Amino acid sequence: MKFRMRAATVTVGTALAVWGLGAPAQAATPTVNGSVQIQGTIQCAPESKTYTVKSKPAPVRSGPSNKAAQIDVVYPGNKVRSYFHCVNESNIFICIGSCKVDESGVRGRWVFRGHVS
């Protein structure tokens, strides 16, 4: 395994551990089929979980960043399904719809992981 790939795997694993998330072994190891994608400082992996929005409305963003445009809101008590999670500047965002994470870019409808449980 190349050093850069190993370093990316360790970085993703460390960020997930800090946030209390467990990463399955196949998502933690970069492979040719793109289980972990690195876009500059953004590191993403597939995920298949259902979350519930916490006690205040969660903004839905056009990208995995607090600086991305807010395009919608999800209200408390609603359930959302995540398809990818991305670590961006030590913040974790989950993609809840129209997800695309590959070599050409990261797109979709993203919610900050801290707004759901």
Which pLDDT score is estimated for 37?
A: 67
pTM for the full predicted model:
0.68
What's the pLDDT score for residue 35?
Answer: 60
CATH of the domain at 55: 2.30.30.40
Supply the range of the domain harboring residue 83.
3-115
CA distances (Å), 61 to each of 18, 20, 22, 23, 98, in order?
A: 23, 23, 24, 24, 12
Q: In the prediction, which pLDDT does 40 show?
A: 66
Closest CA relative to residue 80, chosen from 105, 57, 107, 106? 57
> Which amino acid, one-letter code, is at 107?
R
Mean pLDDT, the chain, integer: 78
Q: What is the number of structural domains in the chain?
A: 1
Q: What is the pLDDT of residue 26?
A: 29
Which tens digits make up the pLDDT trace of 58-100? 999 999 999 999 999 999 999 999 999 999 989 999 999 999 9
